[in-house]
């Protein structure tokens, strides 16, 4: 009698706690949050949200945060953090603009810009892997270092990139496809899908999660932990430089103080998306949706009639509510 009762409760438990269902809980959760917020926008100001203009604006701006949130997800899944990427963005943007201004060779500028990002990533990796500085401290250091480099190199001056307009590289970066879709939105989609496959279907993604979950276990099973972590930091640097190109071409201008706004929003996108700060559990899809939520928030809040003063309050509320939900539905057993 008792055995059957135990079996029945076990079976019931299985339906609701089966691992496949658990995994989709997170995905469903973040989508529900997004849909809920979007519904508020739609109801609050249907005139704005049923016309193309606002989406055109979103597609022009959200990709910058979204693309950087992708490698950042890998870094957080590793159990690490990178606070330097906005500064790396700014410095590689300076390299890009300066090289273009001097040589008028956009290909060279692109190459050197991306190389700058890679070197910045290598520097972070060296400090964290070889010198063994905790990532938060190391990247605070490099955050200031690269910001300082921009300040010194640019001397407070902007650089025009108008000369890049109409070139092939400009067109594939930010030109409007058929006049309607900003190219950066396509990049965002393509990179989002690529990162999803890398994280969920490639052995590198397995290694990132495993290392973030238990670094020692990964080492004992033969994974080159240093290499995995180094590659992730290089990717972060590379894509910061990549976004630098997109965002600077978008306004055809370089200005030295750029990038700073991205720090909190990109981090927020990753955490709202559900990636665990403890490491070992990440979600690319979540970070993508998180970037959409963060990216639409400012415009959405204003559109529904609240003043700009409400923006940070609501940012904070969403972050707290989202991570609280995740903490409840995804308990980490000690």
Partner 1 sequence: MTDNANNNTLLSIVNACKSFGRVKVLKDINLEIGTNEIVGLVGDNGAGKSTLTKVITGVYSLTSGDIYYKGQKITIHSVKRSRELGIETIYQERALADQQSLWINMFIGKEITDKFGFLNVKKQKQETERMLRERMGYTSSAITIDMEVKDLSGGEKQGVAISRALFFDADLIILDEPTASLSLSEAKKVQDFVVDIKRSGKSAIFISHNISHLYPVCERFIIMDRGRIAGVFFKNDVTQEKLIEKMIQLARTGILE
Report the interface residues with partner 1, using CB under 8 A. Answer: 10-11, 14, 18-20, 197, 201-204, 206, 209-210, 213-214, 216-224, 280-281, 332-333
Question: How far apart are the C-alpha atoms of 82 and 227, rounded to whole Å?
Answer: 17
Question: Please, what is the minimum distance in Å from the beta carbon of residue 101 to partner 1?
Answer: 40
Nearer Cβ to partner 1 (76/245): 76
Residue 162 tokens read as 């108008």
What is the three-state SS of 218-273? HHHCCCCHHHHHHHHHHHHHHHHHHHHHHHHHHCCEECCCCCCCHHHHHHHHHHHC
Question: Please, what is the minimum distance in Å from the beta carbon of residue 86 to partner 1?
Answer: 30
Nearer Cβ to partner 1 (126/204): 204
Question: Please, what is the minimum distance in Å from the beta carbon of residue 132 to partner 1?
Answer: 17
Question: Please, what is the minimum distance in Å from the beta carbon of residue 37 to partner 1?
Answer: 28
Nearer Cβ to partner 1 (221/327): 221
What one-character DSSP code corresponds to residue 279? Answer: S
Backbone angles phi, psi at 181, to 5 degrees: -105, 120
Question: Please, what is the minimum distance in Å from the beta carbon of residue 282 to partner 1?
Answer: 10
Question: How far apart are the C-alpha atoms of 282 and 81, rounded to whole Å?
Answer: 13
Name the helix (H) or strand (E) containing 274: none
Question: Please, what is the minimum distance in Å from the beta carbon of residue 183 to partner 1?
Answer: 27
Residue 182's beta-bridge partner residues?
176
Nearer Cβ to partner 1 (199/254): 199
Question: Please, what is the minimum distance in Å from the beta carbon of residue 28 to partner 1?
Answer: 17
Q: Look up tokens 């590379």; give the residue.
A: 238
Contact 78, 211 (CB under 8 A): yes
Nearer Cβ to partner 1 (47/132): 132
Nearer Cβ to partner 1 (210/254): 210
Question: How far apart are the C-alpha atoms of 285 and 26, rounded to whole Å?
Answer: 10
Nearer Cβ to partner 1 (89/208): 208
Contact 61, 238 (CB under 8 A): no
């Amino acid at each position: 009698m008792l055995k059957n009762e135990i079996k029945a409760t076990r079976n019931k438990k299985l339906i609701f706690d089966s691992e496949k269902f658990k995994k989709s809980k997170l995905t469903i959760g973040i989508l529900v949050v997004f849909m809920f917020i979007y519904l508020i926008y739609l109801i609050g100001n249907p005139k704005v949200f049923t016309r193309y203009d606002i989406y055109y604006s979103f597609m022009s701006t959200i990709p910058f945060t979204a693309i950087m949130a992708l490698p950042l997800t890998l870094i957080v899944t590793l159990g690490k953090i990178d606070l330097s990427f906005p500064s790396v963005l700014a410095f590689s943007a300076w390299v890009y603009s300066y090289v273009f201004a001097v040589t008028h060779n956009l290909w060279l500028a692109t190459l050197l810009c991306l190389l700058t990002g890679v070197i910045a990533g290598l520097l972070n990796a060296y400090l964290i892997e070889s010198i063994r500085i905790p990532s938060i401290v190391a990247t605070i250091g490099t955050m200031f270092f690269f910001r300082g480099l921009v300040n010194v190199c640019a001397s407070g001056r902007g650089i025009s990139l108008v000369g890049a307009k109409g070139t092939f590289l400009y067109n594939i970066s930010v030109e409007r496809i058929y006049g309607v879709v900003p190219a950066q939105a396509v990049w965002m989609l393509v990179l989002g899908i690529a990162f999803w496959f890398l994280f969920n279907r490639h052995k590198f993604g397995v290694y990132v999660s495993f290392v973030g979950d238990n670094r020692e276990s990964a080492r004992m099973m033969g994974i080159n932990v240093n290499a995995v972590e180094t590659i992730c930091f290089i990717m972060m640097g590379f894509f910061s430089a990549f976004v630098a190109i997109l965002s600077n071409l978008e306004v055809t201008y370089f200005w030295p103080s750029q990038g700073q706004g991205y720090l909190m929003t990109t981090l927020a996108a990753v955490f709202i998306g559900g990636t665990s700060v403890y490491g070992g559990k990440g979600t690319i899809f979540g970070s993508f949706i998180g970037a959409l939520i963060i990216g639409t928030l400012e415009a959405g809040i204003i559109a529904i009639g609240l003043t700009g003063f409400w923006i940070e309050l609501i940012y904070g509320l969403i972050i707290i509510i989202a991570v609280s939900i995740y903490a409840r539905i995804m308990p980490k057993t000690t």
